[in-house]
């Protein structure tokens, strides 16, 4: 059978070829050569080029030759919609377009929230407004980018979670995410027994268009609002979170040992006699890191941050590795989690459970009384955690001086007191560097035994949280320094400098309230914000 059209992958390759051109035109033969098409598929290429011509992406100047005079105005990215109908494109390439691109409702075409789309961009000019809301006379105008969706490159949501309504003529699903701008009509035969008001999962069988209402079918009925645990099922489907592991990954994890084998210790440093503990929240199930600390004869502190050595068990290109790559991270809910690794790893051999031998990667840092790291090294080791501690228990020991808790953990009390001592030294050193500690309140959700939400209360952040934060931050800094000095490639998450215009606007606004943000050498430094927050 002769192919009548290109595959989506081939179409994307054509678009990529057009966007990458350094010259203002190309020929039909150029596209054939890039795609390496056989003669039967060339008819589909011609139809696709004709469609791009009709959409204004390219312009046919003569037989077999096309102009791409507006190629610099085409950009791909992720579409973020607003419930009022308009949206913004978050460009894939921030070197070409640094700002998000406004998409009016009339230019959305059939694109949906979080789809990856191709947009034609036009620049419009708007006067920049002053921080007080008026226009600044004499200031330069800045470009405001506006675009129109040309093509949907990739659909983000194969299904939509919503509330089913039993309309007498046209049953439909109302999406729970208001940024999905269409109700989905459900034919009676595709309702699968759903009832009025139930939360369902619907797959679209007919996509929206200018004069076309989307249509779909029910693939799963989650239940009624208020049913125990339904919130988790909604989130899992809305964000397409993989809950179950593949049979291959489970088979591989099942073949792993249930305990650390003696032959695995070979070449590793033995920390099993060190006093090390994990400190986590009450609901934590996986214990990824442990802390050891002691004072040495020089008067310095020897801090150890020990991380479960997952890489020893998860080998590259295995099913477990591939599935972990797809998941990217574990997903944590208030009272449960969807782990990145199968349970035998996440809750077993890679969990630093008290009294169990576990393989670790350890950062060992010698710190002087001023908080300076004078020596550091990184080793593979084997560790036996002494105790599984909670933030609440450590705070009761250090802050409340609770007699029962101090008696219960008597052998560990000196360790926690030394941790507090070093934590305050490190915190003071960071403050001197200009760090700003935004100690903002967080929410804690409390549940009944049946999973119902009882109340939402402010989460307490105490010295035990600060201890863990300071020690992990120091370990990360030491690792980053080692990676930088090695000369090899490394990934970092960085906080970019704030937009100078926004800082100036904030300084002007603060001035109207009687506050002053001081400059140093013509620039706002971290210490200026520190002084502003903590006068």
Per the model's pLDDT, the better-predicted residue between 320 and 229 turns out to be 320
Task: Specify the residue for token string 């215009």.
Answer: 501
CA 221 to CA 192: how far, in whole Å? 8
- Residue 277 is predicted with a pLDDT of 97
Give every CB contact of residue 67 below 8 A, 6+ residues apart in sequence.
24, 25, 58, 59, 60, 61
pLDDT band at 138 (very low <50, low <70, confident <90, very high): very low
pLDDT at residue 143 is higher than 70: no
Per the model's pLDDT, the better-predicted residue between 6 and 112 turns out to be 112
- Residue 451 is predicted with a pLDDT of 67
pLDDT at residue 70 is higher than 70: no
- Residue 438 is predicted with a pLDDT of 66
Structural contact between residues 147 and 120, judged by C-beta atoms closer than 8 angstroms: yes
pLDDT at residue 310 is higher than 90: yes
Q: Which of 24-33, 222-231, 300-309, 330-339 has the highest mean pLDDT?
A: 300-309
pLDDT at residue 8 is higher than 80: no
- Per residue in 357-394, pLDDT (tens digit) is 999 999 999 999 999 999 999 999 999 999 999 999 99
pLDDT band at 314 (very low <50, low <70, confident <90, very high): very high
Per the model's pLDDT, the better-predicted residue between 209 and 99 turns out to be 99
Per the model's pLDDT, the better-predicted residue between 129 and 228 turns out to be 228
- Residue 140 is predicted with a pLDDT of 39
The stretch 264-287 carries a mean pLDDT of 90
- Residue 4 is predicted with a pLDDT of 46
b/e string for 14-42 if b means 16 or more Cβ within 10 A? bbebbbeeeeeebebebbbeebebeeebb
- Residue 137 is predicted with a pLDDT of 37
- Residue 132 is predicted with a pLDDT of 41
Task: Return the SS3 of 388.
Answer: strand
Task: Return the SS3 of 517.
Answer: coil
- Residue 38 is predicted with a pLDDT of 73
Structural contact between residues 314 and 298, judged by C-beta atoms closer than 8 angstroms: no
The stretch 76-102 carries a mean pLDDT of 88
Structure tokens at 374: 């004078």
pLDDT band at 2 (very low <50, low <70, confident <90, very high): very low
pLDDT at residue 129 is higher than 60: no
pTM of the predicted protein model:
0.75
User: Nearest 5°: CA angle at 460, between 458 and 461?
Assistant: 130
pLDDT at residue 139 is higher than 70: no
pLDDT at residue 147 is higher than 50: yes
- Per residue in 442-494, pLDDT (tens digit) is 777 777 777 677 788 887 788 999 999 999 999 999 999 999 999 888 888 77
The stretch 134-146 carries a mean pLDDT of 53
The percentage of residues in the chain with a pLDDT greater than 90, rounded to a whole number, is: 49
Structure tokens at 305: 């941050």
pLDDT at residue 130 is higher than 60: no
pLDDT at residue 72 is higher than 60: no
CA 397 to CA 412: how far, in whole Å? 10
pLDDT band at 435 (very low <50, low <70, confident <90, very high): confident
- Residue 496 is predicted with a pLDDT of 78
| Tally of helices (H runs) and strands (E runs) in the chain | 13, 24
CA 75 to CA 147: how far, in whole Å? 9
Give every CB contact of residue 179 below 8 A, 6+ residues apart in sequence.
80, 81, 82, 83, 113
Write down the mean pLDDT value for the chain. 86
pLDDT band at 27 (very low <50, low <70, confident <90, very high): confident
The stretch 508-516 carries a mean pLDDT of 85
Q: Which residues pair with 76 in a beta bridge?
A: 118
* Main-chain phi, psi angles of 135, to 5 degrees: -85, 140
pLDDT at residue 114 is higher than 50: yes
- Residue 535 is predicted with a pLDDT of 56
């Amino acid at each position: 059978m002769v192919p009548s059209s290109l595959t989506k992958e081939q179409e994307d390759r054509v678009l990529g070829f057009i966007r990458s051109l350094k010259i203002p035109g190309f020929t039909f033969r150029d596209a054939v050569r890039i795609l390496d098409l056989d003669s039967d598929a060339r008819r589909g290429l011609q139809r696709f080029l004709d469609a791009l011509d009709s959409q204004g992406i390219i312009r046919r100047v003569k037989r077999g030759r096309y102009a791409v005079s507006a190629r610099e105005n085409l950009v791909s990215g992720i579409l973020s919609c607003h419930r009022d109908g308009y949206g913004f494109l978050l460009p894939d390439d921030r070197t070409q377009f640094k700002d998000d691109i406004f998409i009016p409702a009339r230019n959305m075409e059939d694109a949906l929230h979080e789809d990856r789309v191709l947009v034609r961009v036009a620049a419009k000019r708007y006067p920049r407004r002053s921080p007080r809301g008026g226009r600044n006379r004499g200031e330069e105008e800045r470009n405001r980018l506006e675009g129109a969706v040309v093509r949907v490159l990739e659909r983000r949501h194969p299904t939509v979670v919503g509330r089913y309504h039993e309309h007498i003529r046209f049953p439909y699903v109302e999406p729970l995410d208001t940024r999905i701008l269409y109700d989905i009509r459900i034919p009676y035969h595709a309702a699968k027994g759903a009832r009025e008001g139930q939360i369902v999962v619907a797959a679209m069988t007919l996509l929206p268009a200018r004069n076309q209402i989307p249509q779909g079918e029910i693939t799963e009925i989650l239940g009624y609002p208020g049913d125990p645990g339904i919130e988790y099922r909604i989130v899992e489907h809305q964000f397409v979170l993989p809950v179950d592991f593949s049979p291959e990954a489970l088979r591989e994890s099942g073949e792993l040992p249930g305990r650390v084998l003696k032959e695995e210790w070979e070449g590793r440093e033995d920390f099993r006699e060190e006093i090390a503990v994990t400190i986590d929240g009450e609901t934590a199930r996986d214990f990824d890191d442990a802390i050891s600390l002691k004072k040495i004869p020089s008067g310095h502190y020897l801090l150890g941050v020990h991380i479960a050595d997952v890489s020893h068990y998860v080998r590259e290109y295995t099913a477990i590795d591939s599935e972990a790559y797809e998941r990217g991270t574990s997903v944590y809910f208030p009272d449960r989690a969807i782990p990145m690794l199968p349970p035998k790893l996440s809750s077993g051999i890679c969990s630093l459970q008290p009294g169990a031998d576990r393989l670790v990667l350890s950062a060992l840092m010698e710190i002087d009384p001023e908080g300076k790291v004078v020596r550091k090294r990184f080793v593979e080791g084997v560790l036996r955690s002494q105790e599984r501690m909670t933030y609440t228990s450590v705070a009761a020991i250090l802050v409340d001086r609770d007699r029962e808790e101090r008696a219960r953990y008597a052998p560990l009390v000196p360790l926690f007191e030394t941790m507090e001592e070093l934590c305050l030294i490190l915190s003071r050193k960071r403050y001197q560097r200009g760090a700003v500690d935004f100690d903002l309140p967080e929410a804690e959700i409390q549940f009944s035994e049946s999973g119902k939400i009882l109340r939402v209360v402010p989460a307490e952040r105490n010295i035990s949280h600060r201890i863990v934060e300071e020690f992990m931050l120091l370990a990360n800094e030491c690792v980053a320094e080692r990676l930088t000095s090695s000369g090899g490639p490394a990934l970092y998450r960085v906080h970019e400098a704030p937009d100078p215009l926004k800082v100036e606007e904030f300084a002007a606004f603060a001035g109207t309230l009687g506050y002053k943000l001081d400059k140093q050498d013509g620039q706002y430094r971290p210490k200026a914000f520190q002084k502003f927050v903590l006068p």
